[in-house]
Structure 1
Amino acid sequence: MLTIKDCIALSDLTEAEIDAIAEHEHLPEMVAVEMGYCLAHCAGGPDRIAHIIADDIADACAHGRAAHAAELMHTLREFVETHPLG
């Protein structure tokens, strides 16, 4: 049986990237894993993921959640370093 950690590992995304997708799209973690996998492997998908994380950063800043925004900035930086954008 696969665990959620196994599924995240198979998605080619980090747990933080999956969490950002889940937060942005208001999805359960497993559904965010599926969406993230699809986006990470399709044309324009990495750009969409980067935009999702950037939106989450803006939302965190707008709501005074500076620590969360900083975590998301780190997530975005790591994502851009590991996934080619269009």
Structure 2
Amino acid sequence: MLSIQDVIDYCDLDRGEIEAIAEHEHIPITIAAEMSEVLLCTPDGVCRLHSMIIENMQQALDSGHYQHVKDLAQTYEHLQRTHPIPAN
């Protein structure tokens, strides 16, 4: 049986990025990990991933969850470095 860490280690995203997908889509982290691999296959998917994290940050800000905003901002900075928005 695979552990959640095994699933995350298989992905090309880190745990925070996968957790952000799970939060945005309201799905379990294992399904978010699978979804991450699909998103990374196309430029539109990468753009969607960026949008998900930004939308999560806005929702956390609107809810007054400032520590979560800070955590998501760090996650987004990592995403920008490892999977930047594709140039047109």
Q: Shared fold by TM > 0.5?
A: yes
* Mapped contact 2:43–2:85 kept (Cα < 8 A): no
Q: Distance in 2 between matches of 1:82 and 1:27?
A: 24
Is structure 2 residue 68 aligned with structure 1 residue 71?
no
Q: Which residue of 2 aligns with 1:40?
A: 40
Q: Which amino acid aligns with 1:15?
A: R
What is the TM-score of this pair, normalised by structure 1?
0.93
Give unmatched runs, 5+ long, in structure 2. none
The number of residues matched between the two structures is 86
Runs of 4 or more above 2 Å deviation: none
What is the TM-score of this pair, normalised by structure 2?
0.91
Report Cα offsets for 1:46-75 as digits up to 9, x if no partner.
Answer: 111110000000000000000000100010
* Mapped contact 1:44–1:85 kept (Cα < 8 A): no
Q: Which residue of 2 aligns with 1:12?
A: 12
* Mapped contact 1:17–1:75 kept (Cα < 8 A): yes
- The alignment's C-alpha RMSD in Å is 1.1
